[in-house]
Amino acid sequence: MPLSHITLGTNDPARAGRFYDAVLGVLGFDRLPKPPGKPPAYARDGRMPTIYLYTPADGRPATWGNGTHIAFLADNRLQVHAFHERALALGGSCEGPPGPRPQYGSDYYAAYVRDPDGNKLQAVCYGDGPSAGTE
């Protein structure tokens, strides 16, 4: 069954919006139009799953899940690199630089980051894509 949406917690929706505008933007996601004061939401080509960024409803600080992450499909290795570079430039931290991950398959190429709230994100492409040889 396809996913409808994914919600990530944030303690600062404005900061998260700036981060995700750029980082998901390189993967083809657009911020969805929302009324003022509503949390950021993103979709790729207007299709699900939608990514939502919310402050916790219980008023407690947002925290990240230990052992969880979201992997976004990139079209090619150049997008994996751009995702990683933009994440680091906007306050994210590196959890694994762009490169092959042969332990996951011979054509698996990925980068891992944490957003400013600590959520672990990944961009991955399979195969060489149009940017084969990018290191």
For the domain spanning 5-56+64-131, the CATH number is 3.10.180.10
- Rounded to whole angstroms, the Cα distance separating 81 from 73 reads 13
What's the confidence (pLDDT) of residue 129? Answer: 57
- The pLDDT value given to residue 66: 86
Domain boundaries, the chain: 5-56+64-131
Per-residue pLDDT of the chain (135 residues; tens, 9 = 90+): 478 899 999 999 999 999 999 999 999 999 999 888 888 999 999 888 899 999 998 999 999 988 889 999 999 999 999 999 999 999 999 999 999 999 999 999 999 999 999 999 999 999 875 444 444
Residue linked to tokens 């230990």: 66
Can you give the pLDDT at residue 106? 92
Q: What is residue 62's predicted lDDT score, i.e. its pLDDT?
A: 93
Residue listed under structure tokens 């916790």: 56
E strand map for 10-89: 29-31, 41-44, 47-54, 70-73
Tokens of 126: 């399979």
What residues pair up with 108 in beta bridges, in sequence order?
126
User: Which one-letter DSSP state was computed for residue 127?
Assistant: S
| Phi, psi (deg, nearest 5) at residue 16 | -60, -40
CA atoms within 13 A on the CB side of 78: 6
